[in-house]
Amino acid sequence: MSDRPETSFFSPRRAGIIALSTVTQLVRMKVFYFLAPIALLFVGLQFFDAFWYEGPEASQPQQELMMHKNLCLGTMMLFSSLFAIVSTALLIPGDIEDRTLYTILCKPVPRLDYLVGKLLGVISVIFVAMLVMDILMVVTLNYRTQVVSAELGEYLGAIGWGEEEVRQGQAEVASHGPSLILQYGVLAHFFKASIIAAVALLISTFSTSTLFTIASSVMIWIIGAVQSLAREGLFTKGEYGVEPGMVDRILGTIISLVFPDFQLFESVSDGAARVMEIGMFDMLHLGGLTFFYIAIYTVLSWFVFSDKEF
Amino acid sequence: MKRFLKSRNILVIAIGLAVSGAIRMPVEQKLAEDYRERRIAAPKVSVETWNQMGQTGLAGTFGGLRSVMASILSLEAQDHFSNQEWYELKQDYDVITSLDPYNSFYWSHGGWHLAYNAASWARNRDDLKPIQRDTMEREYLEAGDAYYREGLRHIPDAYHLWGELGSLWSNRFKLPDYERALEAFKMAASFGKSPIYERRYVYLLAQIPGREIEGYFEARKLLEQDPSHLRLPSFRAILYALWTNPRLPLSEDRPEILKIFRSEEEAYRNLYNYRLRSEEEGYFRGSIDDTLRILANKLDVPPDWIPFLVNSRYRIPKDFRSKRNVLPHSRSGNPYFQGEE
pLDDT tens, A4-59? 567 777 888 889 999 999 999 888 888 778 778 887 777 777 666 665 565 555 56
- A106: number of Cβ within 10 Å: 8
Q: Which of B10, B12, B61, B193 to mutate to test the interface with A (most CBs of A within 10 A)?
A: B61
pLDDT of residue A265: 94
Query: DSSP class of residue A9?
Result: S
pLDDT, mean of residues A197-226: 91
8 A C-beta contact, residue A276 and residue B101 = no
The interface predicted TM-score (ipTM) is 0.87
For B61, the closest of A52, A55, A225 (CB atoms) is A225
| Structure confidence at residue A240 (pLDDT) | 63
Chain B hits for A222, CB-CB cut-off 8 Å, are 58, 61
In the predicted model, residues of chain B with pLDDT beneath 70 are 1-5, 54-64, 323-341
Residue A1 placed within a domain: no
**Per-residue pLDDT, B336:** 42
Select from B24, B6, B60, B61 the least CA-distant residue to A258.
B24
How many residue contacts between A and B have a Cβ separation below 8 Å? 152
- Which residues of chain B make contact with A42, given a CB cutoff of 8 A? none
What separation in angstroms does the CA of A157 have from each of A56, A64, A167, B91? 22, 20, 10, 40
Q: Report the Cα B264 to chain-centroid distance in Å.
A: 34
* Minimum-distance CB partner of B63 among A56, A63, A269: A269
Closest residue of chain B to A267, computed from CA coordinates: B41
Out of A222, A269, A293, closest to residue B64 by CB = A269
Question: Is the predicted pLDDT of residue A262 greater than 90, yes or no?
Answer: yes
Contact A205, A95 (CB under 8 A): no
Q: Do B63 and A232 touch (CB under 8 A)?
A: no
pLDDT for A247 equals 86
B86-99 helix and B66-82 helix, angle to the nearest 10 degrees = 170
Confidence at residue A230, expressed as pLDDT on a 0 to 100 scale: 87
CA distances from A134 to A48, A199, A262, B151 (A): 21, 24, 20, 32
Global pTM reads 0.80
Q: Is A41 on the interface with B (CB under 8 A)?
A: no
Mutate one of A63, A168, A218 to test the B interface: name it (highest B CB count within 10 A). Answer: A63
Look at residue A160 and tell me if it is in a domain.
yes
What is the model's pLDDT at position B290? 92
Q: Are B277 and B240 in contact (CB under 8 A)?
A: no
Residues near B81 by Cβ (< 8 Å), separated by ≥ 6?
B89, B113, B117
Q: Can you give the pLDDT at residue B334?
A: 46
Contact criterion met (CB < 8 Å) for A296 and B27:
no
Q: What is the pLDDT of residue A58?
A: 57
Q: Contact B64/A270, CB-based, under 8 Å? A: yes
What is B266-298 written as a DSSP string? HHHHHHHHHHHHHHHH----TTHHHHHHHHHHH
The pLDDT assigned to A5 comes to 62
Residue B137: closest CA among B91, B92, B173: B173
Q: What number is the average pLDDT over the span A169-184?
A: 91
Residue pair A72/A140 in contact by the 8 Å Cβ criterion = yes
User: How far is it, in rounded angstroms, from Cα B330 to Cα B283?
Assistant: 26
Number of structural domains found in chain A: 1
Which residue of A226, A239, A278 is in closest CB contact with B46? Answer: A239
Q: Could you give the 3-state DSSP secondary structure of residue B175?
A: coil
Asked whether the beta carbons of A288 and B31 are under 8 A apart, the reply is no
**A157 is in which domain, residue-wise?**
12-306
Predicted pLDDT at B307: 84
Which alpha helices (H) appear in chain A, and where do they start and end? 12-28, 35-44, 51-54, 61-97, 100-105, 111-158, 163-174, 180-206, 210-235, 246-258, 263-273, 280-306
Element (H, E) at B182: helix B178-190
